[in-house]
């Protein structure tokens, strides 16, 4: 069918325009966000006196301070010593050899007959010189005298204690100083025996301290690889726990000298002039924007829009999406809270309803965030304001009150800002500044959105509440023409509008769209108003002198004629669809049966019903289906002169049944409960319409 072909062609064109527009929008968004995210550059050098107050634009690692701490931690690592098994073995061997040598010397002083060759003093001197010669150490005369002359029992005791102490010392890595400390500690615990003569000999603890202190060598050797590994670990630990430059921290003040540390901080924050293109930032923004785009596309693919949107509407919505980005590029330098995010909220909510307004506004907020440094207060204040603004601006059946929208949006942003600053325990000055800029940003964006509505209405052909309310005025040129040139059709349209409005309210459809669509559904009759019975006067019917085929062509052409007028006067697509679909693909029965009767009289086969059907589409929305049913019911009740509610109800149910039988409601989305509610709504209207006034006395 021609109507379906046109619709498919228009749908294909719309998809192409949508894809191209989305690609261009994505490129534009990436460009704006990339350049908007680049921080301000400061042309300074080390040693220069700063002419600026510079604060950190984000939290980042302080590479200069981190490196300084890491190097300090590395240098503070103590050298690592390990036990030398070789030295420990040598110590054990030399102690054993020493006492064995002393023992042999003692034994050699007594021959087989028990004769002592040297007296005690001589033996002590002999031991002293022998130890010096054989072991390269010099022990005191007192120590040599004690070792040479104590009893064999005591000598063995001292030997045993020396061996034990040496073994214990081998268990730890000891340098020279630590070795002497440990030797002193262990030897201090050695007790003299009962046979020890303290007046003649030195104490065993002192003896061992003197001998072992001379014999033993430190067993600790420097482990270079372990020390370097420890230094490297200390360095890496310091690097992994970096010094941070917190967002908002003052880097340098006016009049302060740019030190190497400050210069390094400016470099870390990318605040110095550079010809380097930040590919990493660009890739991050592309990924970031892509995620937001896919989320928005996924939502829109499953979102049932309250109004039909066309390419012009899509372009206007894209413009609204870009406005806060462009403005944020410059306004965030004044204050991060000076945001125009509510500008698209008003536009989106007006065209897409409350749900669409909230969702797309939140996505728009996400796009703005990189340019504001992901300010958490901006997120909180904006989300609260978006919800309040969208609820008011997204009313689909009524035009919102602009003053209430501005006041409540500002109040919501004020309260949200105060609440945030109270929770974060901000200073009074910061709280006041935040609240002030929040209100200013909200007020400016809402006022700008309301003021620019006529421009968006001019660009777009969407059936927004404001546009529908303007079209509902009887001063519209088409309404005036209908009233003057086709008064019967005008009256019929008014009644259909009342029926449609009440029915749409009953099933929670868009009552305003159904009502205004009913006002304009028959404007195609303006091409030849006298060929329609409601406009005929004095019983003159032009069809009486026309062939049936020509009559049916005139009757069934009024939807397509209406589309021509609708495009000429730039009526919204949703209204155009109602005009095209209000008869669907039904067949005007009067002319079909007339043609059938004429064919029978001529002995010809019955004509095809398809040749007598309307060339439109079956209703694709609830509102379009409501107008179809209301139009048929009103025409039938008027033509049959019905003045009884019960008879009107029967007729309405019969007409709805015929629409169902003819598959006219398959794409409308109406349920049987909706149809029942529609019938009840119609009867409610006709009950008031049929009500007779009380006669007044003459």
pLDDT in tens, 497-513: 999 999 999 998 888 88
Q: Which two tokens stand for residue 13?
A: 């064109």
More confident residue, 433 or 303: 433
Beta strands in 6-45 (DSSP E): none
Residue 431 sits at φ, ψ, to 5 deg, of -65, -45
What is the residue whose two structure tokens read 């019967």?
Answer: 488
- Please state, rounded to an integer, the average pLDDT across all residues of the chain: 83
pTM of the shown model:
0.59
Res 343: pLDDT: 87
Please tell me which residue, 158 or 532, carries the higher pLDDT value.
Answer: 158
Please indicate whether residue 363 or residue 549 has the higher confidence score (pLDDT): 363
pLDDT digits (tens, 9 = 90+) for 229-246: 999 999 999 889 888 888
Name residues whose C-beta falls within 8 Å of residue 357's C-beta, 6 or more positions apart in sequence. 345, 346, 348, 349, 350, 386, 389, 390, 393, 394
Q: What pLDDT shows up at residue 400?
A: 66
Residue-wise pLDDT tens digits, 114-144: 677 888 888 888 888 988 888 888 888 898 8
pLDDT at 694: 47
Please say whether the beta carbons of 72 and 234 come within 8 A: no
Residue identified by tokens 């690097």 is 239
- CATH 1.10.3210 residue ranges in the chain? 472-689
Give 1's pLDDT tier (boundaries 50, 70, 90). very low
Q: Are the beta carbons of 74 and 235 closer than 8 angstroms?
A: yes
User: What is the percent of the chain where pLDDT is above 70?
Assistant: 90
Give 378-403 pLDDT, tens digit per residue. Answer: 889 999 999 999 988 887 655 667 88
- The CATH T-level fold of domain 472-689 is Hypothetical protein af1432 (1.10.3210)
Banded pLDDT at 348 (limits 50, 70, 90): confident
- Position 693 pLDDT exceeds 50: no
| DSSP assignment of 276-336 | ---HHHHHHHHHHHHHHHHHHHHHHHT---SS---HHHHHHHHHHHHHHHHHHHHHTTT-T
**Tokens in use for 415?**
């309260």
- The phi, psi pair for 250, rounded to 5°, reads -75, 120
């Amino acid at each position: 069918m021609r109507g379906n072909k046109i619709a498919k062609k228009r749908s294909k064109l719309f998809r192409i325009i949508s894809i191209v527009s989305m690609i261009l929008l994505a490129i534009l968004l990436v460009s704006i966000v990339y350049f908007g995210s680049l921080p301000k550059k400061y042309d300074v050098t080390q040693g220069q006196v700063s002419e600026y107050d510079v604060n950190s634009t984000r939290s980042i690692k302080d590479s200069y301070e981190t490196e300084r701490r890491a190097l300090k931690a590395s240098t503070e690592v103590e050298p690592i010593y390990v036990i030398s098994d070789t030295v420990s073995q040598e110590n054990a061997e030399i102690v054993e050899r020493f006492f064995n040598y002393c023992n042999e010397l003692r034994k050699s002083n007594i021959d087989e007959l028990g004769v002592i060759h040297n007296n005690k003093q001589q033996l002590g001197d002999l031991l002293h010189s022998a130890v010096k010669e054989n072991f390269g150490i010099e022990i005191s005369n007192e120590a040599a005298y004690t070792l040479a002359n104590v009893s064999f029992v005591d000598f063995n005791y001292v030997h045993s204690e020396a061996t034990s102490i040496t073994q214990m010392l081998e268990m730890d890595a000891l340098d020279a100083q630590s070795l002497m400390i440990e030797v002193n500690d262990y030897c201090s615990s050695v007790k003299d025996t009962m046979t020890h003569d303290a007046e003649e000999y030195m104490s065993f603890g002192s003896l061992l301290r003197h001998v072992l202190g001379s014999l033993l060598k430190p067993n600790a050797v420097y482990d270079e690889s372990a020390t370097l590994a420890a230094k490297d670990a200390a360095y890496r630990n310091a690097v992994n726990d970096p010094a941070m430059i917190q967002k908002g921290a003052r880097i340098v003040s006016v009049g302060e000298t740019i030190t190497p540390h400050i210069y390094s901080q400016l470099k870390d924050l990318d605040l110095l002039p550079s010809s380097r293109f930040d590919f990493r930032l660009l890739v991050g923004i592309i990924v970031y924007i892509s995620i937001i785009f896919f989320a928005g596309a996924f939502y829109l693919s499953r979102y049932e829009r309250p109004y039909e949107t066309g390419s012009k509407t899509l372009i206007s919505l894209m413009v609204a999406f870009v406005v806060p980005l462009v403005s944020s590029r410059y306004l965030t330098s004044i204050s991060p809270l000076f945001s125009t995010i509510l500008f698209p909220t008003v536009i989106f909510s007006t065209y897409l309803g409350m749900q669409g307004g909230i969702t797309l506004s939140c996505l728009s907020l996400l796009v703005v965030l990189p340019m504001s440094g992901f300010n958490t207060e901006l997120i909180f204040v904006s989300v609260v304001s978006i919800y309040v603004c969208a609820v008011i601006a997204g009313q689909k059946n009524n035009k919102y009150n602009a003053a209430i929208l501005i006041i409540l949006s500002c109040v919501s942003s004020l309260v949200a800002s105060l609440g945030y600053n109270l929770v974060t325990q901000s200073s009074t000055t910061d709280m006041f500044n935040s609240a002030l800029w929040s209100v200013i940003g909200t007020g400016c964006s809402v006022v700008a959105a309301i003021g620019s509505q006529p421009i968006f209405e001019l660009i777009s052909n969407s059936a927004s509440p404001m546009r529908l309310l303007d079209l509902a005025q009887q001063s519209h040129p088409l309404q005036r023409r209908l009233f003057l040139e086709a008064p019967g059709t005008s009256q019929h349209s008014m009644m259909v509008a009342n029926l449609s409005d009440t029915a749409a309210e009953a099933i929670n459809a868009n009552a305003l769209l159904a009502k205004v669509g009913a006002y304009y559904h028959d404007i195609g009759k303006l091409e030849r108003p006298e060929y329609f019975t409601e406009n005929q006067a004095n019983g003159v019917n032009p069809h009486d002198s026309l062939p049936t085929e020509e009559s049916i062509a005139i009757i069934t052409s009024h939807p397509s004629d209406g589309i021509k007028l609708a495009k000429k006067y730039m009526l919204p697509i949703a209204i155009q669809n109602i005009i095209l679909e209000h008869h669907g693909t039904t067949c005007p029965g009067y002319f079909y049966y007339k043609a059938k009767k004429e064919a029978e009289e001529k002995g010809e086969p019955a004509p095809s019903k398809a040749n007598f059907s309307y060339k439109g589409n079956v209703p694709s929305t609830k509102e379009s289906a409501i107008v179809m049913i209301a139009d048929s019911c009103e025409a039938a009740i008027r033509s049959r002169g019905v003045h009884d509610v019960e008879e009107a109800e029967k007729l309405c149910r019969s007409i709805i049944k015929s629409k169902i039988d003819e598959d006219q409601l398959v794409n409308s989305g109406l349920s049987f409960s909706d149809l029942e509610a529609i019938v009840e709504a119609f009867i409610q209207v006709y009950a008031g319409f049929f009500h007779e006034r009380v006669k007044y006395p003459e």
